[in-house]
Amino acid sequence: MWYNAAVEDAHMKAVEWESSRIHELDLASTELSSECLMDILCRMPGFTYLGLGYCEFFTDKVTMHFDFDVSMQTHSIQCS
């Protein structure tokens, strides 16, 4: 959980999300850019929970870019 943490785009993009075994990720209150969020979501396989509350760069563009069919295991995306 990185709730309200100072997480940087470059560090998040450097992670090999394709080979990760992360199932739940809470990025609430982070300031990751839309570009970074799109990069992470498209490369992270099979997560079941994604927390994006108060993440101001999680926009409609990011939502439309993410192919929900790819991650059929997704049970919950929390954004407020």
Domain that holds residue 21: 9-78
At 15, list the tokens: 């992670």
Beta bridge partners of 1: none
Instruction: With H, G, I as helix, E, B as strand and everything else as coil, classify residue 27.
Output: coil
Q: How does pLDDT run across 55-66, given as a tens digit for each residue?
A: 888 888 887 876
**How many structural domains does the chain have?**
1
Question: Does the residue 70 lie in any domain?
Answer: yes
Kindly report the pTM of this predicted structure: 0.77
The conformation of residue 29, written as its DSSP 8-state character, comes to T
Question: Does the residue 1 lie in any domain?
Answer: no
Q: How many CB atoms lie within 10 A of CB 10?
A: 7
Q: Mean pLDDT score of the chain, rounded to an integer?
A: 81
